[in-house]
Amino acid sequence: MKWIISIASSLLILGTSGGFIFHWHKDIPAQLKNTSILTAGTSKAAGKVTKKALKDIIHETQKEVVMIELDNGTLGSGFLYNKNGDVITNAHVVNGAKKVKIKTADAREFEGTVIGISKDVDVAVVRVPGMAKDTPLKMMKKKADVGDEVLALGSPLGLQNTVTTGIISGLNRDFDIAPFHYSDAYQISAPIAPGNSGGPLINSKTGEVIGINSAGTDQGTIGFSIPIVNTLPLVEGWSSSPMSELPNLSIGDSEDGTDTEADAEESPVDTAEYLVKYFYESLNSSDFVTAYSLLGSSWQKNLDFTKFRNGYLNTRSNSLDEIQTLQDGDICTVTAILTAEELKNGNYVYSKYKVEYTIGYENDQLKLLSGTGKKIQ
């Protein structure tokens, strides 16, 4: 027998934040230390099968999780699911919009077009041509089970790449939040915060998408996610044949599930600091390709990828402290104290550097235009 939930029983698309949350926008390096909770599994003795660390699964996933912004300032989340640049999100996130602004984890910005939206199921698809060359997330083709460990990713309150952890605590939940009907939804212990709607629910062991985060209780203790296997035929249909006209759904302001606070938008200073932190988070995950892609063309011209990569091979971890940023027009200068764990004479030692980066736009994309570092300890 399926569990039917009434909207009157305090189920909201909006949701509230809480639980175990990684606020990478605020403090990326602190979340990258190798602690037991950040290990997704250990090697098996037979065959030496090694699973990815949880931090690596998160890093790879959040590269394809985007922030969606409408002209009225409301925010939501979405994720890339195919090689056409198509992003899955909730219908309530993009309702009333044809064009939306997309912001990626590496601070790229694109225009997206809504090519499909359902009047009954809280699902929509946004086409982002600028992401067509990106690698989409893998979709799980079977249902999840109770007890499966999950990650809920999104951009709540304008904070990019925030992750909540939990488990699948229930299956086959049915309820209505007008005008949508949620059928066979997963109940999850990972709370869904404002702005997190439309982000992916990830199997923390495999990194595959198992659901679309959609609703949470007003207590913020549980959330609900639409199984991806139920929606793939619908979204794939829109990708093959985009809708020529989009319906305008009647959704109450208190139930739109997005973050509408005027102060939620990131300032240029916030974005510049985020980019520097994301640069080091990529290095900490040995994702040298992504880190190198954040450099401006002039910097890349004078530093080829091999030399760049070799410069970090003996560094196990980086963390930033005492971050200060000055803005001068469209240019921001970020200074910080960097603590690096480096291999010296066969042993890892900690060294401190004062680093400074110039952040600005190049071809309408935010880049690290230049950088310097001086050892201080």
Q: Given 25, 56, 92, 319, which residue is catalytic?
A: 92
Burial 52-80 (b: 16+ CB within 10 A, else e): bbbbbbbbbbbbbbbbbbbeeebbbbbbb
Quick check: 319 and 283 in contact, CB under 8 A?
no
Q: Given 155, 189, 197, 225, which residue is catalytic?
A: 197
Query: Considering only CA atoms, which of 223, 213, 201 is closest in space to residue 148?
Result: 201
Q: Given 106, 122, 256, 259, which residue is catalytic?
A: 122
The torsion angles phi and psi of 56, rounded to 5 degrees, stand at -75, -40
- Asked about 92 being catalytic, the answer comes back as yes
Query: Considering only CA atoms, which of 7, 228, 17 is closest in space to residue 137?
Result: 228
**d(C-alpha 219, C-alpha 16), whole Å:** 7
- Asked about 122 being catalytic, the answer comes back as yes
> HEC profile for 318-355?
EEEEEEEEEEECCEEEEEEEEEEEEEECCEEEEEEEEE
**d(C-alpha 93, C-alpha 27), whole Å:** 27
- Asked about 304 being catalytic, the answer comes back as no
**d(C-alpha 66, C-alpha 181), whole Å:** 25
Instruction: Report the catalytic residues.
Output: 92, 122, 197
